[in-house]
Every structure is written in C-alpha cells, then in structure tokens.
Structure 1
Amino acid sequence: METKTVHKLADVLANTKVYANLPVARLVEMAVQRGEGMMTDRGALNALTGKFTGRSPKDKFVVDEASVHDKVNWGPVNQPITPEKFQVLYQDVMEYLQTKELFVFDGFAGADETYRLPIRVVNEYAWHNLFARQLFIRPSAEELAAHKAEFTVVYAPTFKANPEVHGTNSETFIITSFEQKTVLIGGTEYAGEMKKSIFSVMNLLLPEQNVLSMHCSANVGKDGDVALFFGLSGTGKTTLSADPDRFLIGDDEHGWSDNGVFNIEGGCYAKCIRLSEEGEPQIWKAIQFGTVLENVEVDPETREANYDSDKYTENTRAAYPVEAIPGAVIPGVGGHPNVIIFLTADSFGVLPPISKLTREQAMYHFLSGYTSKMAGTERGVTTPQTEFSTCFGSPFLPLHPVVYAEMLGKKIDERDVQVYLVNTGWTGGPVGVGKRMKLSYTRAMVTAALNGELAKVDYVADPTFGVQVPTSCPNVPAEVLLPRNTWADKDAYDKQARDLANRFIENFQKKFPNAAEIAAAGPKVQ
C-alpha cells in the first residue's frame, strides 16, 4: 500500500515559486499583471471578491484540541472540528498549493512589543498579500531579519473543501488550530477573513496575559487623554474616531493591558459605501496608491470609483495603512482610557442621544452590543430590526463573553473610566416617522464627553432604560437630549420604549441566564 506523502508548509514554500515580503508597488504591479484587480484614477487597487462579499460565519471552525477544549465557548460562533479532519484538509491544501506561485508577508499583530504576535501570511493572490501588508503591522528591516512567526495564515481562495471528506459545512472554510498555530482559509476571496481570523486568535491569547482584547477604535487627545469607541457596523465608529482634533491609535481592534491601550493592527478597513470627501475627508484622502478597495464599482474607461454604488455589495471596503490618516499614532500605543463610548444606531428612536452608564450598566450594554438594522439595508428587512452582537464583536470571541465583560468591569473600576452610551440613530420617532440624529449634534456630545464638560451638568434617570441623561450639552438643543420630548405622540414613544426594553431583557436572559447581577443593571419595564 502506497504511503501518502506528508506535506508541511515549509516544504511547500521550499519547492514552489515564492515572492516574500514584496514592497507595495511590486504587489500592485503583480496584482494588475495577473488580472486580480483594476487600478482606479487615484491609484488604489480595486478587487472583486466574487460571490462572497463579506465573512462566512457558518464556515468558521476551531479545531477541538486538548489544550483549548475547556477554554473555548463552543457553539454557533466557535464550531468544533476534529484534529483528524483538520489534518486531512491541511494536507490537501498543501498539496494544492505546490502547483501555485505564493506570496508571503511576515509581520506582527499587536503594536505593544510586550504582547505582539509575530505572524506569517501565505497567499495565492498578490492582492490578498497586499491587503495583509496594509492591515497588519509591518516590520522594520531589523525586525524582519529576526522574524519568527508564531502563527501562520494560509489562504487558498481557489481551493474548495469537500464537506464529506473535510468535515466542513460547505466548500468554504476558515479554520483555526491553536496547537498547530495555523489558520486555514479557502473557498472564499473575501480578504477580511484574514484580518478577523487573527483578531479571533488574539481574543484567546491576550486575555491569558491579562490583556482585554476589544473590537473598538481608539484615539488620543492633545493632552494624552485616550478614548475608546465600540459599535457595530453603521453606528459611526470609524467616522467619530477619525476626529481631526484628535490622533488615531487604530480604527477596529485593540488590547488594553496594564501599560495602556495598543492597536492590534497596522491598518484600517473602512466601509466606503456612499463615501464622500465632505462627509469623511480623512478616509477619502487615505484612498491613494497602495490602498486596496473591495467590490467598489469602477468606471472601466475613466477608472473613477463610484462609492454610491452597491452594484456588488453594500459592504464595499477600503484597506490602507493607519499612517494614511493624518496625525495617526505610530506605533499605535496610548495610555489608559479616560472615556469609553458605546455607539448604537437605534432606528426605533427611543434611546437617549447620549447617556452616562454605571460600571454595571457598562457591562450590561457591553454584553448586549445593541444596534438595529434599518429597513432597506438588507434584502427582506422592511421594518427596523434589533441586532445584539455580544461585546460588539460576537463572531470573533473564542472565550465566553462574560470573561471579557468582567475584565472590562475590573478595568473601569481600576482606572475610574467614564462610560457613555451614544445613539447615532433616530430621534422624534422610528424610521419613517422621525429623522436621523444630526452628525453635528453627535460630534458635539462626544466632544463634551471627552473634554469633561458633561461631568459638570445635571442628569436625570431614564425611566425605562435606567441610564443617566444630561439635561444640557454645549452646542446641542436641550429638547434633543430627552428622546420622549422629541416625539409628537408621547404614548407611541412609551409603547416603543417598552418594546425595545423587552427585546433587551429577552436577549440577555436567553444568552446570559447565569449573569443575574449584571442583568439587574438593564432596562426595567413598568
């Protein structure tokens, strides 16, 4: 009986054509030459990702190995796959890649050298390797010479899994083995899978070092005051953290250690649907040579990008190094946060535009991770719908969410951090009746929270949600601050507020039946 050859990644790299750590310009050239993307009139590279224009959460697995079996919060987010099935898939991917030219990027996740993870990314596509180079932390020449990867991402987009043989749910797979220190990705061309896979890895490794890993953006003021911004897609996280009067630490993934806050990445991954120079000037200017655009409609003649188009998807993206944002903090490290902002876009129009949270309320809203989907943004969504994403990043949490919430509560206590809940959604009524909160008002409220002005005003308790609502705020009309006052029909407001409160309560009871102490800080229905 013939013994099947065992292939290792090192053997594959030794026996095929490898382009290692190419500069940006060379990767752009090769991506265009290989027909992987199109240059825009401003020098960005636009790539189309085919049928997958977002992540594939149902195809994401963690290998059920002895070292992590009792740590991982197994379920729909962390689906188990056996080591044996993973090994068969790994071998088949290695054999497949032996016939390909490969691109390698060596870099880091984690700007704080104490906690950073040396990583290697191996790609079948040049544009994917460019994406990795722009999104992760790029090493200096000295760091590259001494680089030894502790985790490897192998991305074979054109390899399709066989569910019967490989134990996957489809031909697509995103599988992490903590013992093999490997992430295998295939059957999808969506580049964001690389970024979020490493974030998921850090979400297990960092808490073991007493570091809270967070799905948030972070910036710092001229006086060194650090702010964190948590929020799901569409809540304004990237827009509000890219403040021209403050300096960006990072826009999406951070760790909070005993030293302070640090960016896990070296780049930004901004949504660019309906992007305009007037609305988001920093992101607009960051889209230049070396930026990777995903699924943006580009005129084949003029090469002008149409950011208003959703021809391919609403989830159009731009990936660029954080240095492209003026005044970005390099390396991406800062002190301990003074203020934390939780962002929500409440399309029911009942949450206050800004409110102050106790430590327990902060833990409650962190675990709830609420926003709402607006009618028309997704096929089949015709009325506002609630979305609860635990810790504002449930798809990326290998540990039980309460682990992260308790770490957050402890750090809030230790550092006396003020936490605010900011509603960037509707006022005066739900979608179709009210109107979206003015961005200028939201910016004014966030500014007042960051510079301490909201510490000097009077507050009243919201009768349903229990949060403390300011009665005044510089540059914001007082009537806007109390949402019930903005509704013409007060009874309709009360009914809608009760309805949303019940949704919070039902979600929390379902997900966290054993967290009664935290649940007590949630909404109350009279």
Structure 2
Amino acid sequence: METYGLEQLGIVNAAAVYRNLTPAQLTEHALRRGEGTLSATGALVVKTGKYTGRSANDKFIVDTPAVHDDIAWGKVNRPMEKEKFDAIFAKVTAYLQNKEVYVFDGFAGADPKYTKSFRIVNELASQNLFIHQLLRRPTPEQLASFTADYTIVAAPGFKCVPEIDGTHSEAAILVDYEAHLVVICGTRYAGEIKKSVFSVMNYILPKQGVFPMHCSANIGTDGDSAVFFGLSGTGKTTLSADPARKLIGDDEHGWADDSVFNFEGGCYAKCINLSAEGEPEIYNAIKFGALVENVVMDPDTREFDFDDDSLAVNSRVGYPVEYIPNAELSGMSPSVPKTVIFLTADAYGVLPPISKLDRNQAMYYFVSGFTSKVAGTEIGVTEPVPTFSTCFGEPFLPLDPSVYAAMLAEKVEKAGAKVYLVNTGWNGTGQRMKLRYTRAMVTAALTGEIEKADFVTDPTFGVQVPTAIEGVPSELLIPENTWADKEAYRAACRKLASSFVENFKKYTRMSAEVVAAGPKAE
C-alpha cells in the first residue's frame, strides 16, 4: 500500500491512505463511513457536534527559543511546552493507526512568489473534502513533485485529557511554527483547519515583506483592486461580491509590493438566514462538491431550513471559488489595492456611514477592529456592546499588532491608496443603513467620485465625512442629523469613544501619533 511518506510523521499501519481524491470520491467515502448525508442540491451535509465554531481557548503555540521573541504572547497566543506538544502528537499518530487516512496536498497563496505548500492529513473524508475545496488545488505535475512546507494533522476523534495533556479541554489546536506542524484534535469543526493555514501565513509572510490580511478583495474592469476588512455581520462578503467587479476572494489575502492575492481556492460562508434573494451567489453555490455544516435539513425532502439555528447559529458552507459566477479564478490582482475599506456595524448609531481616514487614523481603526452587537441579538444584550478584534483578525495573529499596523501604513502609502471607514450599522433613527445606500457609498469610494465631495470633520472621531454622495440622502451622511435628541447623541458618542480609548490602552507598542488619532472621549 502506498503511504505517501506518512511514516515520516510517525503515522504507520494505516488501514488505507487516500491522497488527493476528487470531490466525488470524497463524498462517496464520507457517505460510506456515515459522516454525513446528501441534500436535495447534492451538497454533503454534516453535523459537527459539540463544537460548531472555533474553540479559541483551546489554541496553543509551541514555545521554542527559535520563535519565542516573535510571538505576542497573551490570552490569544498561549504558550505550550515542546514536550507536551510532542507527547500529544505521538498519541494522535498512534490513534490513527489501523484507520483510513485522507491526505490533501495543496497550496496557500495564489501569487507564485509567495505560495506555500501544505499537507493536510485527515481522519475524516468530509474534512478532507472541505480543505480540498478551500485550499488551492495542485495540477498533476505539481502533485508529482510535491513537498510540503507545512503539515496539518486533524484527528477529531482523538480527545485530549486536560489533566494529563496540559490542554483546556478535550479539543486542542496546537501550532509548532519551528517544526512546521499543526495538530488539531477533539473538534469536527472544519474551520479550525482553514484558520490554522491562515495563522501560519500570518507568521511567515511578514518576514517576506507581505502584509497578510483577514479581508475580502475584488478587482474592477480597469484592473483596480480593493480590499474589505470587517468582522462577522458587517457585510464583508456581501459588499465585496459586486456584480460590476470580480471577486478575488472572500476571507484571506496577502498584499505584496506588486499584487494582492488570495490565500485560498474556496469560500467558507455563513448559512444562517441565507436566501436566494439576499445572497444568490452563496445560495447557488450549495451544490454537489460543497460541504455544509450544521444546517437543519428535512430528513425526507432533504431541503434546507436556513432560518433554523437549533444546530448552530454559525452554520457554514465550504465550496470552491469557481462556484461563484463572477470570480477571478487566478486568485490575484496584478496591481496593488487603490481602495481600503474598514467595515463596522455600529449599534450606537454615531459613526458616520462613510468617512475618510488619514495615515494614523487608518492604523488606529485597523488595530482596533471595531464592530458592535445590537440590543436583542443575544440573550442578556440590552444595550449596544462594543466588540474589538485586533486588526480584524485577532485569533489568527501570532505577531504583535504593531507589526501588522506598520505594514498596512507602508503598503497604503506606497500604493497611494485611500482608506475609508464604512458603518453598515445603525443611526439615530434606530434603523440600520439600507444596503443600497451602503453600496452607493462603497461604489463612490471605489470609483473616486467620493473625492469630489466637500468633507467636514466629525467632532468626536476626527474622521473626514463627505456631505453629499449620489444616491444617498444627505441627511444620513452626518450622524447627528439623524438624532432628534442631540444630547442623547452626544452621550452615545462619548460612550463609544471611551470604549475605543480604553481598548487601545493595551497596545503598548503603538506610537503616540497613532494613539492621538483615535476618538476623543471628552
């Protein structure tokens, strides 16, 4: 039996080893093994059980002398001793003996100058299907000469024992940057594999002068590219899927000196409340070859109920980017971005719907990574709750935030790019900004039309706000105009500004100029 070199990892005596099977073959294997069922559209549907999202508290980085000074240690980047990692890895490889093992050899990074090769070793055929669709797939020639830069071993059936293994629970996501090895166990949530690739790229690409970004990206007919940063629920996927522009990718990209490129070859989209009318591209991508996680399905008709969150609010689908009709299949733009957009959903109703940022403001709002939860969206949430995720991707950033912020500033300055903060959230009327207005504002930013407008300075946040944009009621552009109670507006401004100021105190390596570019709490 061909083992494809797995014995070098210590995986011996496997019942069978399958390498780079097709989506059809992997779907057949998953069905045979009872991992999932087929939907009416032909997509493979699985339930991930206890873990329906990332398990942030279960991620560790192996602390070795070679990487110790690089890592921003803390509550996100938790250290693990090398001996403990090696012990867990030995148990995982022993666990995989006498089991069927699935291998996917592929790539991350569409720009060939920065492509990294990844070997993914899976216990589950369904997870192997997922990563086959999410990473960049090799040609037969590339596969014949494949050598992995990094290896990820995912064995969800292996459960850690915290008292013995030094983990927080039965699940663990363990990254050994020096050994070029990641171990994932105890969780069936496929997103852990994808995000482990992202974490690796976020560590190695800055050393090559490439700015890694948790963002979507698209490209216009004139070759002008744009990137969209934003946390969940801010409209990143929706706004980057522009019928007038080609989608480069929806989640993870690199900004090099002469390109912006997708890390992946697929998309991983949320399914909750999905509809053909609201997001037709995602809706129509759920077909044979896609992997659907935790979406409720009628057992007889096999039709989806995307509104039912009884299995998970974070229901997902993974599919190759070619399932999107307006995708840029090369995965890259030969030109650097000219427009950078930070998306936020402000439930306080005080951030302008669109504003322009200078260099220091761009670094401040990028590092802050702000959005907010609105009252009523979760049990116990009775007023707006600020949410900050460093650089719009805190769980996946091993280096200090100042490193990524400096790279953003350098790339923006060199490219002559414009940076805008777009609020897709609420205003003083209590209503959320209509999508058609947000699209008009984003289009004005992408085409440069916004620069023809007159701008005023927001007194609290210091950003430049346009007073007129075609297709948008002018009274909506200045937040204060939407509030009947002006004192209530000012109180909400102070409250949000104070949250920004308090959150930014933890960034001790940011310059005084960047700190001063933030909002004024008084």
Q: TM-score range by the shorter chain?
A: over 0.9
Q: Which amino acid aligns with 1:390?
A: T
Q: Return the alpha-carbon distance in structure 2 between the equivalents of residues 491 and 504 of structure 1.
A: 20
2:490 aligned partner: 494
Q: Does 1:475 align with 2:446?
A: no
Partner of 2:375 in structure 1?
375
Determine the structure 1 residue equivalent to 2:408. 408
Q: Structure 1 residues 348 and 83 mapped into 2: Cα distance closer, same or farther (>3 Å)?
A: same
Q: Does 2:263 match 1:267?
A: no
Secondary structure of 1:118's partner? strand
Asked if 1:210 is matched to 2:206, the reply is no
The alpha-carbon deviation at position 480 of structure 1 amounts to: 0.6
- In structure 1, the residue corresponding to 2:505 is in which secondary structure? helix
SS in 2 for 1:427: coil
User: 2:356–2:420: 8 Å Cα contact kept in structure 1?
Assistant: yes
Instruction: Tell me the distance in 1 between the aligned counterparts of 2:28 and 2:510.
Output: 55
Paired with 2:256 and 2:509, the residues of 1 have a C-alpha distance of: 29
Task: Provide, for residues 163-187 of structure 1, a one-character-per-residue CA deviation record: whole Å limited to 9, x for no partner.
Answer: 2222211111000111221100001
Contact map agreement 2:341 2:420 (CA 8 A) in 1 = yes
Residue 502 (structure 2) aligns with = 506
Structure 1 residues 290 and 499: alpha-carbon distance in aligned structure 2, compared to 1, 3 A threshold: same
**CA separation of 1:111 and 1:125: change in aligned 2, threshold 3 A:** same
CA distances 1:317-367 after superposition (whole Å, capped 9, x unpaired): 111111111121122111100100000000111100000000110000000
For 2:221, the equivalent position in structure 1 comes to 222
Shift of 1:403: 0.2
Q: 1:15, 1:130 → 2: CA distance?
A: 19
Which whole-Å deviations, capped at 9, do the CAs of 1:378-431 have from their partners, x for residues lacking one?
A: 3433322100001000000000011000010011111111000000000225xx
SS of equivalent residue, structure 1 residue 203: helix
The CA distance in 2 between the partners of 1:368 and 1:124, in whole Å, is: 38
- The answer as to whether partners of 1:9 and 1:94 remain within 8 angstroms in 2 is no
Which letter does structure 1 place at the counterpart of 2:371?
T
Aligned-residue identity in percent: 59
Q: Which moved more, 1:372-381 or 1:360-369?
A: 372-381
Map 1:148-187 → 2, pairs under 5 A: 148-187=147-186
Which structure 2 residue ranges, 5 or more long, are not aligned?
1-5
Measured against aligned partners, the alpha-carbon deviations of 1:468-495 in whole angstroms (never above 9, x if no partner) come to 0000001000001011101111111111
Residue 376 of structure 1 deviates from its aligned partner by 3.5
Q: How many residues matched?
A: 516
State the 1:512 CA deviation: 3.4
- Which residue does the alignment assign to 2:52? 53
Scaled by the length of structure 1, the TM-score of the pair is 0.96
Distance 2:272 2:425 in 1: 18
How many Å separate the matches in 1 of 2:8 and 2:372? 43
Match of 1:4 in 2: none
Summarize deviations over 1:143-168 as a string: whole Å, max 9, x none.
11111111111001010112222221
Corresponding residue for 2:436?
440
| Alpha-carbon contact 2:461-2:519 (below 8 Å) kept | yes
Deviation at 1:8, TM superposition (A): 5.2
Where in structure 2 are the equivalents of 1:107-186 lying within 5 Å? 107-186=106-185
What is the rounded CA distance, in whole Å, between the counterparts of 1:513 and 1:264 in structure 2? 28
**Superposition RMSD in Å:** 1.3
The 1-side partners of 2:171 and 2:512 are apart by: 39
What residue in structure 2 maps to residue 3 of structure 1? none
Structure 1 counterpart of 2:406, one-letter code: E
TM-superposed CA distance for 1:280, in Å, is: 0.9
Distance 1:113 1:514 in 2: 33
Q: Please state whether the residue corresponding to 2:42 is helix, strand or coil.
A: coil
| Residues 168-220 of structure 1: CA deviation (Å, up to 9, x unaligned) | 11111000111221100001111000000110010010000010000000000
For the pair 1:386 / 2:382, whether they are aligned, the reply is: no
TM-score, length of structure 2 as denominator length: 0.97
Q: Is the 8 A contact 1:85 1:165 kept in 2?
A: no
